[in-house]
Structure 1
């Protein structure tokens, strides 16, 4: 069965010298409705792509995200998360990257033109930072533009509960600009929670990102992500302080649906 692709810009975000656009390709079945329905069951119906339009600004992409670019744009490999710089910082970063599987280098783009990322079946969530830091879930970061640097955040909340000496390394975005994250959840289904000196407890890995004004910890609960063999208790993720949380309540539904489609 053949599909005709109709690209359409569905979301945008702008910063100084840069504009992010989410392009969605809507496949239209060319044969009978029954065959079209069967095709949609066999794979997700839509593909999405991120276009970064630079007019003299900077952008950072996750390694492997680039598909092609047009214009006068320079590329430069930059060591991520290395405060202080120097060979010592680079080597420490290399050790961390090797231990966590995270790429040491991210590509920085500068100039005038358009950058296109590899198409994905995941949804692309756009957001903005204003002199803030954003902690991002593993594998969710796609790109950012403006005056944003990409580094590492060592999250020791889970490690402390499990008695492990090493923390979980996550991407950290710092500065002012716009960013793009990927998720199986549609942007309209996210709740962006504004916490003002409050406590948020989440049972499940439903948080895609949170600002660094919040402290993260893991506490015991009667049910949760990690079951204890002795007590039957689990854990919840706890966020305290002032800041924003990107929460996806419908993530379990999407995960189940994807499992059913894959196994069909």
Structure 2
């Protein structure tokens, strides 16, 4: 594939996958564009905290990809943009699926040869290659995929998962062949990719963000009284059974706690400064 991007000491590639197109996750080492004290102060905090700006790059070689609307930053080359509804039936299916999963109904389609750069983000990304397979995602994780991957809705198969699983009645399902780029809540090296071979995984809390389509999901009680469990919320575990893979993010709760503590300290400091001004 043709490529014109020159990597410098400011930009490095974290991961790469290739099918019909080539997907890359890039990372900016430092941001040095501050022109005022406030921005410089913010960039210094970001640098000291080890927070890195990341960006997904897609190289098309007479190929096609689908993007989440609003994610395009810029592109170069002979690339056409279109939106396919799939006719009246396809239009109806997309509308229904979007209402069920919260995903946008229509994904812009980019076809041709060239390079696409998606919006930079301080968040985290992961690449997955599907080979006649499917994955079930938590909400708002889809970012981009190749044309051979379909994005639709997957219904929960058990009543316990619907009412006690905190995942809703439907989740986002990706199925087919090709590369998928997803947004993940923690760095990929902090994701525990648990492989099950005709086995059972029980998880306390909503730590699972992805599972392959042949993994059955349900919610079960560990207490004797199901009524007591439903009222108190104690003794409930998410259960995954079968053969496949489940992605867990055990560090996610730690970040949530730190964020809350940081917000509390920031509000306290702001109040103290306002009192001093008075």
Give the equivalent residue in structure 2 for 1:39: 45
Kindly state the Cα deviation for residue 26 of structure 1 after the two structures are TM-superposed. 2.0
Q: How does 1:69-218 map to 2 (within 5 A)?
A: 69-79=75-85, 86-88=87-89, 90-98=91-99, 100-145=101-146, 147-157=148-158, 162=163, 168-218=169-219
Looking at secondary structure, tell me which structure has more helix per residue.
Answer: 2
Task: Report the alpha carbon displacement of residue 44 of structure 1 after superposing the two structures with TM.
Answer: 7.1
Report the CA distance shift for 1:160/1:61 in structure 2 as closer, same or farther (over 3 A).
same
- Deviation of 1:157 (Å): 3.9
Mapped pair 1:23 → 2:29: no
Preserved contact between residue 57 and residue 110 of structure 1 (Cα < 8 Å)? yes
Give how far 1:114 is off. 0.9
Q: Which residue of 2 aligns with 1:246?
A: 247
> Using a 3 Å threshold, how does the CA distance of structure 1 residues 43 and 258 change in structure 2: closer, same or farther?
farther
**How far, CA to CA, are the matches of 1:18 and 1:78 in structure 2?**
20
Distance of 2:137 and 2:209 partners within structure 1? 6
How far the C-alpha of 1:77 sits from its partner, in A, is 1.7
Indicate conservation of the 8 Å contact 1:43/1:261, yes or no: no
Native 8 Å contact 1:159 1:167 kept in 2: no
- SS of 1:106's equivalent in the other structure is coil
How far did residue 86 of structure 1 move? 4.9
Cα gap change, 1:160/1:214 in structure 2, threshold over 3 Å: closer, same or farther? closer
* Residues matched between the structures, number: 247
Secondary structure at the counterpart of residue 258 of structure 1:
helix
For 2:178 and 2:94, the matched residues in 1 are separated by 25
Indicate how the Cα distance of structure 1 residues 181 and 232 shifts in structure 2: closer, same or farther if over 3 A, else same.
closer
Residue aligned with 1:150, SS: strand
TM-score normalised to structure 2 length: 0.76
* 2:59 aligns with one of 46, 49, 53: 53
2:189 match: secondary structure = helix
Task: Check 1:202–1:11 CA distance in 2 against 1; reply closer, same or farther (3 A cut).
Answer: same
Partner of 1:14: 18
Distance 2:43 2:17 in 1: 33
Conserved? CA contact 1:27–1:45, under 8 Å = no
TM-score by length of 1: 0.80
User: Highest Rg: 1 or 2?
Assistant: 2
Q: Which runs of 5+ in 2 are unaligned?
A: 1-8, 267-278
Which is strand-richer, 1 or 2? 1
- Which residue of structure 2 aligns with residue 82 of structure 1? none
Contact 2:65 2:147 in 1 (8 A): yes
Deviation for aligned residue 1:100? 5.0
State the Cα distance separating 1:97 from its structure 2 match: 2.7
Structure 1 runs of 4+ off > 6 angstroms? 41-44
SS in 2 for 1:139: coil
Q: Per-residue deviation at 1:10?
A: 1.7
Distance change in 2, residues 1:150/1:99 (3 Å): closer
